[in-house]
């Protein structure tokens, strides 16, 4: 048979076209099969509800990867499932519980299945986990906060199982081995659930009732109103004020009065007297001025009746020892200085209490942050343990390796329990300072602030010498020592006093009962004297003067010591602020690097290039770095407060005014003025 050239060309062209079509069909089939192999379909949604808890189970026909998203204002929860499909475009599954109303599933794009949870009015938090048999994602939704006082939004994800590449003979493991592995896995998760949500654990370690947020400023103001030590200290200026009143009362006038009756039945006489009646007025220069009056009457049935009266003035004045306005008014001045010192001492106690309250507030903040860090560390240990179990099932690592992760979980649980105790202790300390009931559940609201200050040594030193309470008290005490020295010097002088008196008197005689006056007489007299007294030798008074001089010298030396102490304290305070600032920066960087190191080591573990021991060690390093960062931030806060306390300007730095009122409230918000 002879075929023409034209016919052969046509066949050749047709053959090419068929090959191209077959290649296209082959590529389409491969892409379709690859998509089928890498994806999973949502086959069922079920849920179970009990008191305050709803568990929604999403079942797939293969392992899935997902990303959860929680958005506030309003609160919404949705999960994106990668490379997953659903039979219909959208589907709604009613739940009708107090935490979730319904679950909606639909395609977000060609590669993503989105599952949206319509949250109920009583929603409080959630927890997500995955199961491998069957392939499921379980979402637990709660109405209340967990036992740690934080929202139940901890995500515990178990990685999907890898493809089983074992031979049929290797895959025929006894059913008991699988059951034992499942029991181990369940035991770990039960321990975690027990720690997070156990009512017994909550009753032992935590207060009942809703968590009450409190700001640092409100803590300071509440301390001024409720702290028992400050309430007691408020009374000291009141007592000192009474001492001033008592010192001034020495110069108030004194009135004396006496009235007497007498009689003699035998002589048939009787008498009546108003004696002595007087008014004495102490003088500011020393001594006193007195006015005296006396009157008497003698009655007789047989003899004449006699009346007598006297009126006199007496002046007593020291001329050497005890003389002068300064000497006599000194007790009042000393009482006023003591009263001022009591107010300064009150401010000192308030600012010292501020330092204690500040430390207690931030210690509670640290304890809470450490609690959350330990909780996340425990979750990380659980995830690593679950990954270890999967690797054991795949035969990639030995069964004995699981004991490393189980030991890590036990260690994390122990650290978590200690963190819970530290949190409760810190909470009780702050409640005690605020004089609140220890059953209250308070939590610090303010985050640590990082408004870095740039302290200057000379400015801080000048502020300290103008405002520090101990320095101001030392200055006032120095004044008292100077006054005491002058008083001792005056007391060492001889006693020389002037006494002067002037008086008038009168008497009458009626000549008998019912008869006219027979006679009367008036008398006038005066007296003047100088009294001089001095001990020989004058040892006691001279020694008192010398001791007062020594006390003044000691006060001056103590003042110099205090100045040096203030300089040292200011210098150390500035160094503490600068070093703690640097520690915050270093701790933050260390935390970031440890996180990167752990993530890299986990990736190496996935590729079989690392060991569990290394990953666990890096987890420990990260936890330590996180705790160090939290501690560093609070240390900076405390260092700033301590420096301002050293400068004596803590109240103004906190924008709180401390009034002179030991009588009522001692503080108010500066913004109100």
pLDDT in tens, 20-41: 666 666 655 555 544 444 467 8
Count of helix runs (H) and strand runs (E) in the chain: 14, 21
Total-model pTM: 0.59
Spatial CA neighbour of 574 closest among 405, 438, 457: 457
Say which range, 325-334, 503-512, 515-524, has the weakest mean pLDDT: 515-524
pLDDT in tens, 457-494: 999 999 999 999 999 999 999 999 999 999 999 998 99
- pLDDT at position 122 is 75
> What's the average model confidence in pLDDT over 74-94?
76
Whether residue 501 is predicted with pLDDT greater than 50 in this model: the reply is yes
pLDDT band at 168 (very low <50, low <70, confident <90, very high): very low
pLDDT band at 201 (very low <50, low <70, confident <90, very high): very low
**Mean pLDDT of the residues in the chain:** 77
Whether residue 673 is predicted with pLDDT greater than 60 in this model: the reply is no
Residue with tokens 């139940």: 152
Whether residue 223 is predicted with pLDDT greater than 60 in this model: the reply is yes
- Bridge partners of residue 70, in order along the sequence: 77
Whether residue 200 is predicted with pLDDT greater than 50 in this model: the reply is no
Coil, strand, or helix at residue 323? coil
Angstrom distances, CA of residue 615 to CA of 387, 473, 601, 609, 619: 12, 59, 6, 11, 6
> What's the average model confidence in pLDDT over 136-161?
52
DSSP 400: G
> What's the average model confidence in pLDDT over 548-557?
93
pLDDT in tens, 341-399: 999 988 888 888 888 998 899 889 888 888 888 888 888 888 888 888 887 888 777 78
Residues 136 and 130: beta-carbon distance below 8 Å:
yes
Whether residue 601 is predicted with pLDDT greater than 70 in this model: the reply is yes
pLDDT band at 161 (very low <50, low <70, confident <90, very high): very low
Say which range, 294-303, 407-416, 444-453, has the weakest mean pLDDT: 294-303
**Other residues' Cβ atoms within 10 Å of the Cβ of residue 456:** 11
Angstrom distances, CA of residue 665 to CA of 74, 186, 231, 318, 657: 42, 59, 10, 46, 11
**Other residues' Cβ atoms within 10 Å of the Cβ of residue 461:** 19
Whether residue 247 is predicted with pLDDT greater than 70 in this model: the reply is yes
pLDDT band at 173 (very low <50, low <70, confident <90, very high): very low
- pLDDT at position 576 is 92
Alpha-carbon span 562 to 552, nearest angstrom: 15
| Those residues with Cβ within 8 angstroms of residue 588's Cβ, 6 or more apart along the chain or in another chain | 629, 632
- pLDDT at position 300 is 61
> What's the average model confidence in pLDDT over 311-315?
90
CA-based R_g, the chain, Å: 47
Whether residue 518 is predicted with pLDDT greater than 60 in this model: the reply is no
- pLDDT at position 67 is 84
User: Which long-range CB contacts under 8 A does 73-77 form with residues at least 24 apart?
Assistant: 75/119, 75/123, 76/116, 76/117, 76/119, 77/116, 77/117, 77/119, 77/126, 77/139
Strands 76-82 and 66-71: what pairing?
antiparallel
Count CA atoms within 13 Å of residue 46 on its CB side. Answer: 6
pLDDT band at 270 (very low <50, low <70, confident <90, very high): low
Whether residue 272 is predicted with pLDDT greater than 70 in this model: the reply is no
pLDDT band at 207 (very low <50, low <70, confident <90, very high): very low
- pLDDT at position 26 is 62
**What does the block give as tokens for 60?**
């797939």
Spatial CA neighbour of 578 closest among 451, 457, 447, 453: 453
Residue with tokens 């004020």: 241
**What does the block give as tokens for 301?**
């049935």
Whether residue 661 is predicted with pLDDT greater than 60 in this model: the reply is no
- pLDDT at position 176 is 42
């Amino acid at each position: 048979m002879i075929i023409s050239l034209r016919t052969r060309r046509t066949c050749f062209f047709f053959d090419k076209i068929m090959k191209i079509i077959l290649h296209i069909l082959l590529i389409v089939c491969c892409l379709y099969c690859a998509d089928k192999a890498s994806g999973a379909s949502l086959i069922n949604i079920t849920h179970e509800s009990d008191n305050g808890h709803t568990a929604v189970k999403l079942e797939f026909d293969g392992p899935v990867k997902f990303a959860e998203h929680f958005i506030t204002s309003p609160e919404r929860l949705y999960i994106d499932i990668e490379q997953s499909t659903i039979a219909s475009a959208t589907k709604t599954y009613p739940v009708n519980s107090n935490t979730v109303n319904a679950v909606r599933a639909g395609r977000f794009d060609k590669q993503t299945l989105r599952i949206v949870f319509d949250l109920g009015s009583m929603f409080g938090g959630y927890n997500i986990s995955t199961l491998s048999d069957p392939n499921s994602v379980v979402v637990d939704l709660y109405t209340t906060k967990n036992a740690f006082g934080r929202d139940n939004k901890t995500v515990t994800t178990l990685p999907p199982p890898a493809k089983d590449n074992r031979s049929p003979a290797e895959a025929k493991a006894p059913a008991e081995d699988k059951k034992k592995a499942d029991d181990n896995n369940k035991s770990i998760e039960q321990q975690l659930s027990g720690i997070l949500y156990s009512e017994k654990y909550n009753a032992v370690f935590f207060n009942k009732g809703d968590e009450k947020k409190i700001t640092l400023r409100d803590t300071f103001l509440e301390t001024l109103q409720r702290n028992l030590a400050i309430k007691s200290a408020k009374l000291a200026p009141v007592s000192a004020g009474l001492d001033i009143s008592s010192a001034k009362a020495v110069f108030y006038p004194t009135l004396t009065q006496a009235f007497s009756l007498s009689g003699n039945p035998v002589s048939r006489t009787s008498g009546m007297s108003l004696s002595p009646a007087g008014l004495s007025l102490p003088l500011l220069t020393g001594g006193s001025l007195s006015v005296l009056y006396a009157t008497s009457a003698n009655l007789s049935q047989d003899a004449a009746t006699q009346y007598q009266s006297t009126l006199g003035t007496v002046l007593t004045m020291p001329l050497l020892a005890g003389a002068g306005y300064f000497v006599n008014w000194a007790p009042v001045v000393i009482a006023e200085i003591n009263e001022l010192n009591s107010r300064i001492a009150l401010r000192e106690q308030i600012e010292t209490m501020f330092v204690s309250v500040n430390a207690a507030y931030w210690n509670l903040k640290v304890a809470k942050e450490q609690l959350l860090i330990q909780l996340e560390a425990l979750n990380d240990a659980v995830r690593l343990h679950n990954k270890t179990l999967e690797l054991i099932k795949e035969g990639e690592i030995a069964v004995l390796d699981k004991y490393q992760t189980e030991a890590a979980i036990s260690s994390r649980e122990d650290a978590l329990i200690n963190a819970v105790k530290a949190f409760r202790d810190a909470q009780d300390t702050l409640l005690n300072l605020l004089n609140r009931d220890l059953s209250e559940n308070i939590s610090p609201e303010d985050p640590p602030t990082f408004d870095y200050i740039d302290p200057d040594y000379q400015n801080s030193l000048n502020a300290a010498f103008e405002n520090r309470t101990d320095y101001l008290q030392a200055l006032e005490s120095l004044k008292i020592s100077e006054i005491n020295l002058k008083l001792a010097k005056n007391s060492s002088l001889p006693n020389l006093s002037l006494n002067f008196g002037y008086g008038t008197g009168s008497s009458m005689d009626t000549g008998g009962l019912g008869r006219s006056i027979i006679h009367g007489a008036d008398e006038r007299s005066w007296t003047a004297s100088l009294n001089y007294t001095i001990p020989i030798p004058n040892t006691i008074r001279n020694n008192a003067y010398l001791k007062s001089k020594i006390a003044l010298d000691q006060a001056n030396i103590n003042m110099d010591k205090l100045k040096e102490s203030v300089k040292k304290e200011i210098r150390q305070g500035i160094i503490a602020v600068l070093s703690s600032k640097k520690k915050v920066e270093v701790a933050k960087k260390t935390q970031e690097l440890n996180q990167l190191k752990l993530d890299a080591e986990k990736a190496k573990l996935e590729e079989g290039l690392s060991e569990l021991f290394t990953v666990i060690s890096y987890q420990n390093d990260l936890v330590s770095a996180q705790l160090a960062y939290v501690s560093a931030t609070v240390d900076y806060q405390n260092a700033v407060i301590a420096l301002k306390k050293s400068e004596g300007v803590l109240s103004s730095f906190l924008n709180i005014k401390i009034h002179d009122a030991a009588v009522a409230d001692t503080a108010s918000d500066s913004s109100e003025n």
